[in-house]
Amino acid sequence: MTTATHHDLLVLGSGSGNSLVTPEMAGWSVGIVEEGIFGGTCLNVGCIPTKMFVLPADRVAEAHEAARIDVTVEGARADWAAARDRIFGRIDPISEAGAAYRRDGEGTTLHQGRGRFVGPREVEVTAADGSTTRVTADRVVIATGSRPWVPEPFARALADGLPVHTSDTVMRIGAAPRRALVVGGGYIATEMAHVLSGFGASITLVVRGPQLLRDLDPSIGIPFDAIATDRWDVRHGTTVDSLERIAGSDAVRAHLSDGTTVEIDLVLVATGRVPNSDDLGLERAGVDTHPDGRIVVDAHGRTGTDGVWSLGDVSSPFQLKHVANAEARVVAHNLVHPDDLRSFPHDVVPAAVFGHPQIATVGDTVAQARERILADGGGVDDVLAHTQAFGSTAYGWALEDTESLCTVVADRRSGLLLGAHLMGPQASTLIQPLVQAMSFGLRAADVARGQYWIHPALTEVVENALLGLED
């Protein structure tokens, strides 16, 4: 049976798209289409639960490192089942409450099912029971996010019932594995390797390239890779050829391209993510995509079809929740104020990797800054860069820190920061004054000398890095 309905606004996806509904839309009829768990990736399988698992893993790692400050901690361990139940005991009710609010709230309708375009601003939603609803709308926003990419041989192994997981499923397992194979060299692979090892798993990390997190500035990328290689069995320049179940057990044998095999209890595939755009019927809506599957939008979030917009991972070049939220605020304004369009704020976008050590980065690497300044008519000497060790500050002494680093990059001609790259405790917090300086066009010298930096707080590493540019 097919029913029909019309909305002023239809949103495909309940992640950042859910926040599009603002008080300025009072009186509008709003429909939200969601096939999966309400709340999207970040709430259910991404940023929030992963960081809730990261914290106990951090505590275990810190316990093992405590001897360097004359503290003995014996038997530190993290309880996976207890952590899992605590984490999802908090998250699942939030997801359910969000769905109930949109389903029962005034002015909103939750269409649960798979939405596909059948024409411009016309979507057919197929529910789990096979019933369909034809929904037309004056405005449609596509915010369907992205999903893990599972290449061969992992897709075949997954279909065969082997214990192959992605970040979408691994956090719901019953117990931490004793041995885990993590495939990938990006932020999900490194974060989840830290989580699984913190809960007791021995880690084999298979990386196709020569370095983990290869896009990082070398000042922190190279030492991070060295730290990870010392901590885990990292196989650079390696891929997985095949997987097989070991007879008489639930374990798996992985055959690697370096000619070796490893026996593991769980495989985590973290080889990238793809936009959820391939099964939306976009061709029937006249909506174009990039070669990588991302929906083509302009600076304001508009697709090439009148009244159809997009935001977040399905269209954005940044797979970051804070970017998706910012894009949602822009699109929400533009929907209500079509004559006063705002643009996506993509100029200064920070990111963090919540591994151990933690990493945060914003703006240009040194190499990118040189390329930018040379293209602008400057010279190589116009790029200023300085790397400051956390251990050179008073709080770093207290930590007995010998690994953590802060690199800042600036333009000598203007004195403006072009980039910042940190590796160490609370890097994602320490980078914020540098993000602020870049966002508001503050000169590095003014940021360093124009305010107090509390002594002996760890923030002094940022101050000293900025002062180091003057040398």
- Please identify, among 271, 298, 320, the residue that sits at the C-terminal boundary of a domain: 271
Q: With 80 as the cut, is the pLDDT of residue 1 above it?
A: no
Instruction: Report how far Cα 57 is from the mean position of its chain's Cα atoms.
Output: 18
Domain boundary among 255, 271, 287: 271
**Is residue 69 in some structural domain?**
no
> Mind telling me the catalytic residues?
455
Tokens of 11: 């949103």
Instruction: For residue 435, tell me if it sits in a domain.
Output: yes
CA distance 380 to 374: 7
Which pLDDT score, from 0 to 100, does residue 110 have?
97
pLDDT in tens, 278-312: 999 999 999 999 999 999 999 999 999 999 999 99
For residues 30 and 109, the answer to whether their CB atoms sit within 8 Å is: yes
Contacts for 307 with CB less than 8 Å, ≥ 6 apart: 120, 121, 137, 138, 139, 140
CA distances from 97 to 15, 91, 92, 103, 104 (A): 14, 10, 9, 10, 10
Does residue 184 form part of some domain? yes
| Whether the predicted pLDDT of 396 surpasses 80 | yes
- Beta strands in 278-369, from DSSP E residues, in sequence order: 308-310, 351-353, 359-363
In a domain, 201, yes or no: yes
Q: Are residues 309 and 197 in the same domain?
A: no
96 has pLDDT over 90:
yes
Same domain, 97 and 168: no
Asked if residue 67 is part of any domain, the answer here is no
Q: Are residues 463 and 374 in the same domain?
A: yes
Tell me: do 259 and 282 sit in the same domain.
no
Which backbone phi and psi does 150 adopt, to 5 degrees? Answer: -120, 95
Is the domain of 254 the same as that of 305?
no
SS3 103: helix
| Res. 81: pLDDT tops 80 | yes
Q: Which residues pair with 234 in a beta bridge?
A: 205
> Would 311 be classed as within a structural domain?
yes
In a domain, 57, yes or no: no
CATH code (residue 298): 3.50.50.60
Q: How many independent structural domains does the chain possess?
A: 3
**Beta bridge partner(s), residue 389:** 405
* Residues 160 and 294 both lie in one domain: no
The string of DSSP letters for 132-191 reads EEEEEEEEEEE---EEE---TTHHHHHHTT-SEE-TTTGGG-SS--SEEEEE-SSHHHHH
* 415 and 369 both lie in a single domain: yes
In 3D space, the residue among 211, 190, 231 whose CA is nearest the CA of residue 355 turns out to be 190
Q: Is the pLDDT of residue 325 over 70?
A: yes
Query: pTM of the predicted model, to two decimals?
Result: 0.96
Same domain for 29 and 142?
yes
Q: Which residues contact 146 (CB under 8 A, 6 or more apart)?
A: 41, 273, 274, 275, 276, 313, 314, 319
The Cβ of residue 200 has, within 10 Å, a number of other Cβ atoms equal to 17
Whether 143 and 279 map to the same domain: the answer is yes
**Torsion of the alpha carbons at 191, 195, 198 and 200, rounded to the nearest 10:** -130
Boundary of a domain, candidates 304, 336, 368 = 336
Please indicate, yes or no, if residue 366 is contained in any of the structural domains. yes
Give tens-digit pLDDT for 337-374.
999 999 999 999 999 999 999 999 999 999 999 999 99
What's the domain range around 424?
357-468
CATH of the domain at 385: 3.30.390.30
